[in-house]
Amino acid sequence: MTKTPYTIDVFDLMHRPGEMRDKAVDIVVPEGFGNAVIGVKAGSELRLDLRMESLHDGILVSVDVDGTASGECVRCLIDIEEPVQVEIQELFAYSHDEAFEYEVHEDTIDLEPVTRDAVVLSLPFQPVCQEDCTGLCPQCGVRLLDNPGHKHENAIDPRWAALGGLASLESLTTTDLDGSADIHGSADSAIADLDQADEEES
Ligand SMILES: [Zn+2]
Ligand SMILES: [Zn+2]
Protein backbone atom coordinates (compact mmCIF):
# COMPACT_ATOMS: atom_id res chain seq x y z
CA MET A 1 0.00 0.00 0.00
CA THR A 2 1.45 3.35 -1.02
CA LYS A 3 1.74 5.94 1.70
CA THR A 4 0.00 9.29 1.27
CA PRO A 5 -0.21 12.27 3.64
CA TYR A 6 -3.40 10.60 4.95
CA THR A 7 -1.60 7.40 5.94
CA ILE A 8 -1.30 7.08 9.71
CA ASP A 9 0.94 4.58 11.45
CA VAL A 10 -0.92 2.69 14.18
CA PHE A 11 1.67 0.01 14.95
CA ASP A 12 2.05 1.12 18.60
CA LEU A 13 -1.71 0.78 19.20
CA MET A 14 -2.38 -2.53 17.52
CA HIS A 15 -3.77 -5.35 19.64
CA ARG A 16 -3.47 -3.32 22.80
CA PRO A 17 -7.07 -2.69 23.79
CA GLY A 18 -7.39 0.33 26.03
CA GLU A 19 -4.40 2.15 24.57
CA MET A 20 -5.12 5.60 23.22
CA ARG A 21 -3.19 8.22 21.33
CA ASP A 22 -3.86 11.76 20.11
CA LYS A 23 -2.17 13.07 17.03
CA ALA A 24 -2.41 16.22 14.92
CA VAL A 25 -1.66 15.88 11.25
CA ASP A 26 -1.24 18.78 8.86
CA ILE A 27 -1.82 17.76 5.29
CA VAL A 28 -1.08 19.60 2.09
CA VAL A 29 -3.91 18.21 0.01
CA PRO A 30 -2.35 16.21 -2.85
CA GLU A 31 -5.53 15.93 -4.88
CA GLY A 32 -8.49 18.29 -4.73
CA PHE A 33 -12.03 17.08 -4.04
CA GLY A 34 -15.49 18.55 -3.71
CA ASN A 35 -18.72 19.05 -5.63
CA ALA A 36 -19.26 20.92 -8.90
CA VAL A 37 -19.23 24.40 -7.35
CA ILE A 38 -16.97 24.24 -4.28
CA GLY A 39 -14.22 22.03 -2.93
CA VAL A 40 -10.92 21.62 -1.15
CA LYS A 41 -8.27 22.46 -3.71
CA ALA A 42 -5.04 20.61 -4.28
CA GLY A 43 -2.27 22.38 -2.37
CA SER A 44 -4.52 23.78 0.35
CA GLU A 45 -4.02 22.77 3.97
CA LEU A 46 -6.13 20.35 5.91
CA ARG A 47 -5.66 19.75 9.59
CA LEU A 48 -6.68 16.43 11.10
CA ASP A 49 -6.89 16.22 14.88
CA LEU A 50 -6.97 12.52 15.65
CA ARG A 51 -7.88 10.45 18.65
CA MET A 52 -7.07 6.81 18.12
CA GLU A 53 -8.30 4.15 20.52
CA SER A 54 -7.26 0.53 20.41
CA LEU A 55 -10.21 -1.87 20.62
CA HIS A 56 -10.40 -5.65 20.33
CA ASP A 57 -11.73 -5.39 16.76
CA GLY A 58 -9.45 -2.68 15.52
CA ILE A 59 -8.64 0.99 15.93
CA LEU A 60 -11.43 3.47 16.57
CA VAL A 61 -10.49 6.81 15.08
CA SER A 62 -12.14 10.14 15.83
CA VAL A 63 -11.09 12.99 13.56
CA ASP A 64 -11.77 16.71 13.65
CA VAL A 65 -11.13 18.01 10.15
CA ASP A 66 -10.32 21.69 9.64
CA GLY A 67 -9.64 23.32 6.33
CA THR A 68 -10.86 25.69 3.67
CA ALA A 69 -12.98 25.05 0.64
CA SER A 70 -12.96 27.40 -2.31
CA GLY A 71 -15.36 27.86 -5.16
CA GLU A 72 -17.64 30.52 -6.53
CA CYS A 73 -20.90 32.18 -5.50
CA VAL A 74 -23.71 30.54 -7.50
CA ARG A 75 -25.46 33.93 -7.87
CA CYS A 76 -22.71 36.45 -8.71
CA LEU A 77 -19.86 34.05 -9.59
CA ILE A 78 -17.12 35.72 -7.52
CA ASP A 79 -14.53 33.50 -5.84
CA ILE A 80 -15.42 32.53 -2.31
CA GLU A 81 -13.91 30.53 0.52
CA GLU A 82 -15.75 28.59 3.18
CA PRO A 83 -14.35 27.00 6.32
CA VAL A 84 -14.49 23.22 6.36
CA GLN A 85 -15.15 21.67 9.74
CA VAL A 86 -16.31 18.11 10.10
CA GLU A 87 -16.11 15.39 12.71
CA ILE A 88 -15.64 11.77 11.77
CA GLN A 89 -15.61 8.58 13.77
CA GLU A 90 -14.73 5.28 12.14
CA LEU A 91 -13.54 1.86 13.16
CA PHE A 92 -10.60 0.48 11.20
CA ALA A 93 -10.88 -3.27 11.66
CA TYR A 94 -8.13 -5.88 11.83
CA SER A 95 -10.20 -8.47 10.02
CA HIS A 96 -10.98 -8.43 6.32
CA ASP A 97 -14.63 -8.97 7.12
CA GLU A 98 -17.22 -7.34 4.87
CA ALA A 99 -18.97 -6.12 8.01
CA PHE A 100 -16.26 -3.49 8.32
CA GLU A 101 -15.95 -0.76 5.77
CA TYR A 102 -12.39 0.21 6.68
CA GLU A 103 -9.43 -1.91 7.62
CA VAL A 104 -6.00 -1.60 9.12
CA HIS A 105 -3.47 -2.28 6.37
CA GLU A 106 0.09 -3.26 7.29
CA ASP A 107 0.09 -1.37 10.60
CA THR A 108 -1.40 1.74 9.01
CA ILE A 109 -4.78 3.30 8.40
CA ASP A 110 -5.69 5.42 5.40
CA LEU A 111 -7.77 8.44 6.34
CA GLU A 112 -8.20 9.72 2.79
CA PRO A 113 -11.54 8.04 1.85
CA VAL A 114 -13.25 8.86 5.16
CA THR A 115 -11.98 12.42 5.13
CA ARG A 116 -12.98 13.05 1.53
CA ASP A 117 -16.44 11.53 1.95
CA ALA A 118 -17.20 13.49 5.12
CA VAL A 119 -15.91 16.79 3.74
CA VAL A 120 -17.76 16.46 0.42
CA LEU A 121 -21.00 15.71 2.30
CA SER A 122 -20.54 18.85 4.40
CA LEU A 123 -20.07 21.19 1.45
CA PRO A 124 -22.95 23.44 0.34
CA PHE A 125 -24.52 22.78 -3.06
CA GLN A 126 -25.49 26.44 -3.48
CA PRO A 127 -22.64 28.42 -1.92
CA VAL A 128 -23.16 32.20 -1.86
CA CYS A 129 -20.75 35.07 -1.13
CA GLN A 130 -23.27 36.39 1.38
CA GLU A 131 -26.82 35.39 2.23
CA ASP A 132 -28.40 38.45 0.60
CA CYS A 133 -26.30 38.35 -2.58
CA THR A 134 -28.45 39.81 -5.35
CA GLY A 135 -26.45 38.23 -8.15
CA LEU A 136 -25.78 39.80 -11.51
CA CYS A 137 -27.77 42.35 -13.53
CA PRO A 138 -29.80 40.24 -15.97
CA GLN A 139 -29.34 42.93 -18.62
CA CYS A 140 -25.59 43.71 -18.56
CA GLY A 141 -24.11 41.23 -16.06
CA VAL A 142 -22.53 43.63 -13.53
CA ARG A 143 -22.42 42.38 -9.93
CA LEU A 144 -25.28 44.17 -8.22
CA LEU A 145 -23.62 44.20 -4.75
CA ASP A 146 -20.77 46.27 -6.26
CA ASN A 147 -23.21 48.66 -7.96
CA PRO A 148 -25.93 49.68 -5.53
CA GLY A 149 -28.81 51.44 -7.30
CA HIS A 150 -27.71 50.01 -10.65
CA LYS A 151 -30.47 50.18 -13.29
CA HIS A 152 -31.00 50.76 -16.96
CA GLU A 153 -32.92 53.76 -18.36
CA ASN A 154 -34.78 51.67 -20.88
CA ALA A 155 -35.64 49.07 -18.28
CA ILE A 156 -39.19 50.41 -17.75
CA ASP A 157 -42.13 48.32 -16.73
CA PRO A 158 -44.45 48.04 -19.80
CA ARG A 159 -47.37 49.49 -17.81
CA TRP A 160 -45.36 52.62 -16.99
CA ALA A 161 -44.21 52.84 -20.61
CA ALA A 162 -47.87 53.05 -21.68
CA LEU A 163 -48.52 55.86 -19.21
CA GLY A 164 -45.38 57.64 -20.42
CA GLY A 165 -46.79 57.54 -23.95
CA LEU A 166 -50.00 59.19 -22.81
CA ALA A 167 -48.09 61.92 -20.99
CA SER A 168 -45.95 62.81 -23.99
CA LEU A 169 -49.04 62.92 -26.23
CA GLU A 170 -50.63 65.38 -23.80
CA SER A 171 -47.57 67.65 -23.67
CA LEU A 172 -47.35 67.63 -27.49
CA THR A 173 -50.95 68.87 -27.77
CA THR A 174 -50.35 71.56 -25.16
CA THR A 175 -47.29 72.84 -27.01
CA ASP A 176 -49.28 73.10 -30.23
CA LEU A 177 -52.01 75.04 -28.48
CA ASP A 178 -49.52 77.41 -26.82
CA GLY A 179 -47.91 78.02 -30.19
CA SER A 180 -51.35 78.85 -31.51
CA ALA A 181 -50.31 77.31 -34.83
CA ASP A 182 -53.14 74.85 -35.23
CA ILE A 183 -51.29 72.67 -37.73
CA HIS A 184 -52.40 69.36 -36.18
CA GLY A 185 -56.07 70.25 -36.10
CA SER A 186 -56.56 70.02 -32.33
CA ALA A 187 -59.94 69.24 -30.89
CA ASP A 188 -62.48 72.05 -31.22
CA SER A 189 -63.06 72.13 -27.47
CA ALA A 190 -59.35 72.77 -26.83
CA ILE A 191 -59.34 75.66 -29.27
CA ALA A 192 -62.43 77.04 -27.63
CA ASP A 193 -60.63 76.95 -24.26
CA LEU A 194 -57.71 78.82 -25.79
CA ASP A 195 -59.95 81.48 -27.28
CA GLN A 196 -61.60 81.92 -23.92
CA ALA A 197 -58.18 82.33 -22.27
CA ASP A 198 -57.20 84.98 -24.84
CA GLU A 199 -60.36 86.95 -24.12
CA GLU A 200 -59.71 86.89 -20.39
CA GLU A 201 -56.18 88.23 -20.90
CA SER A 202 -57.28 91.20 -23.07
ZN1 LIG B 1 -22.60 36.46 -4.67
ZN1 LIG C 1 -27.10 46.27 -15.87
For the stretch 163-168, contacts whose Cβ atoms lie closer than 8 Å and that sit 24 or more positions apart, written own/partner, are none
d(CA 36, CA 34): 7
pLDDT for residue 8 is more than 60: yes
Q: Indicate whether 173 and 132 sit together in one domain.
A: no
Cα(185) to ligand 1 centroid in Å equals 57
Which comes out higher in pLDDT, residue 14 or 174? 14
Question: Measured in angstroms, how far is the CA atom of residue 161 from the centroid of ligand 2?
Answer: 19
Residue-range definition of the domain harbouring residue 22: 7-144
Cα–Cα nearest to 55, from 10, 113, 5: 10
Ligand 2 mean position, distance from CA 87 (Å): 43
Residue 100 binned pLDDT confidence (cut-offs 50, 70, 90): confident
> Ligand nearest 77 Cα, by number?
1
Q: How far is the CA of 79 from the centre of ligand 1 (A)?
A: 9
- Say yes or no: 46 and 115 in one domain: yes
User: Rounded CA gap, 106 and 102, in Å?
Assistant: 13
At CA 97, angle to CA 94 and CA 102, rounded to 5? 60
180 shares a domain with 113:
no
Query: Is residue 151, in this structure, part of any structural domain at all?
Result: no
User: How many distinct structural domains can be found in the chain?
Assistant: 2
Tell me which ligand sits closest to the C-alpha of residue 80.
1
For residue 153, being part of any structural domain is answered with no
> Residue 191 Cα, ligand 1 centroid: separation in angstroms?
59
Q: Tell me: pLDDT of 97 over 70.
A: yes
pLDDT tens, 76-85?
A: 999 999 999 9
Give me ligand 2 centre to Cα 155, in Å: 9
CB 55 within 8 A of CB 41: no
Q: Which of 84-93, 135-144, 180-189 is predicted with the least confidence, judged by mean pLDDT?
A: 180-189
Residues 48 and 64: their CA atoms lie apart, in Å, by 6
What are 153-182's pLDDT values in tens digits?
Answer: 875 565 655 655 555 554 444 444 444 444
Compute the distance from residue 128 Cα to the ligand 1 centre, in Å: 5
178 vs 131, which has greater pLDDT?
A: 131
Q: Do the domain assignments include residue 152?
A: no
Separation of CA 146 and ligand 2 centre (Å)? 12
* pLDDT tier, 1 (very low <50, low <70, confident <90, very high otherwise): low
Q: State which of 105, 121, 144 marks the end of a domain.
A: 144
Tell me the residues surrounding ligand 2 (ion) with CB < 5 Å: 137, 139-140
Say whether both 139 and 75 belong to one domain: yes
CA of 153 to the centre of ligand 1 (A): 24
